[in-house]
Amino acid sequence: MALDEPIVYVVDDDAAARAAIQSLLHSVGLHAEAFGSPQEFLARPRPDAPACLVLDVRLPGVSGLDFQRDLAASDVTIPIIFITGHGDIPMSVEAMKAGAMEFLTKPFRGQVLLDAIHKAIERDRATRQEQAKVAQLRQRLATLTPREREVMQLVISGLLNKQIAAQLGTGERTVKIHRGQVMRKMKADSLPDLVRMAGKLGIPSRE
């Protein structure tokens, strides 16, 4: 299996439903893994690949919505496509609010499910790329010295080198050198680029 090949996880207590969905996904060349319960799904180690979860709302033991909450609480960001026996509006509203991708009412056409799966995988792929990017920025940030970090915070707040020097009690030239180091270590092309990076990293600007 290629590292980037998407995986579709299916959690449904009905064996017939699992078999049907799995066959459909295989027929269009998607890799699918099916489970009878959320516990089985959690017990399986998941490779680092774009994925989505097709989840029956009503499950033995725990409801699909509770499971969705549990996943969110443990920082699992996998997109969820809910399938349900009857379109329960309050339930679907709750699921969508909690970040569900789609809420399909049985019986639905295979294409509807496939479209939802493709959309979900694309979103997961984007999320993963975004997460990877942030992780990279974090690594870069970690290489900055404390003084460089201080200078970076003041730079993104829009202060001029002179003002920064005055605030830090150093010379303007020293600030200029620190600033150059920050731009180089963070691999920022311009000031706006650096500001965007700081936003992603959640660094607040200083007034």
Partner 1 sequence: MHRHSYPLNAALRSTLSGNILAFACVAAALLVTKLLNSVFPTPLFFAAIVVSTWFGGTASGLLAVALAALVLDYYFVPPFHSFALRAGALPYLIQFAVPALLTCWIVKKRKDAEASLRQARDGLEGKVRESTAELRQANRQLKAEIADRIRAEEIVQRTQADLAHVTRVTTLGELAASIAHEVNQPLMAVVINGDACLQWLAREQPDLQEAREAVGRIIAEGNRAGEIIRRIRALFKNSPLQKAAVGINELIRDILAITQREIIRNGVTITTELETALPPVFGDRVQLQQVILNLVVNAIEAMSGITGPRELQIRSQCDGDNGVLITVRDSGPGFTQPERIFGAFFTTKPDGLGMGLSISRTIIEAHGGKLWATNAGDGAVFQFRLPIYRGSA
Contacts to partner 1 from residues 141-200, by CB under 8 A: none
For the bound state, the minimum distance from the C-beta of residue 125 to partner 1, rounded and expressed in Å, comes to 23
Instruction: Give the interface size with partner 1 as a residue count (CB under 8 A).
Output: 27
Q: Which amino acid is at 93?
A: V
Contacts to partner 1 from residues 68-87, by CB under 8 A: 83, 85-86
* 89 binds partner 1 per the rule CB under 8 A: no
Q: Is the peptide bond before 107 cis (omega within 30 degrees of 0)?
A: yes
Of 111 and 129, the one with the shorter C-beta distance to partner 1 is 111
Cβ burial of 58 (10 Å; 0-12, 13-18, 19+) is middle
Near partner 1 by CB under 8 A, which window of 26-34, 125-133, 164-172, 194-202? 26-34
Q: Binding residue for partner 1 (CB under 8 A) from 3, 16, 135, 142?
A: 16
Convert 3-27 to b/e letters by CB count within 10 Å (16 or more is b).
eeebbbbbbbeeeebbeebbebbee
Q: Binding residue for partner 1 (CB under 8 A) from 4, 44, 47, 61?
A: 61
Neighbour tally for 176: CB within 10 Å: 14
Residues 6+ apart with CB under 8 A from 7: 31, 32, 33, 46, 47, 49, 50, 51
For the bound state, the minimum distance from the C-beta of residue 56 to partner 1, rounded and expressed in Å, comes to 9
Helix axes 161-168, 172-185, angle to 10 degrees: 110
For the bound state, the minimum distance from the C-beta of residue 20 to partner 1, rounded and expressed in Å, comes to 4
Q: Binding residue for partner 1 (CB under 8 A) from 4, 5, 19, 76?
A: 19
For the bound state, the minimum distance from the C-beta of residue 159 to partner 1, rounded and expressed in Å, comes to 58
- Contact between 38 and 11 (Cβ < 8 Å): yes
Q: Which residues bind partner 1 (CB under 8 A)?
A: 13-14, 16-17, 19-21, 23-24, 26-28, 58-61, 63, 83, 85-86, 106-111, 113
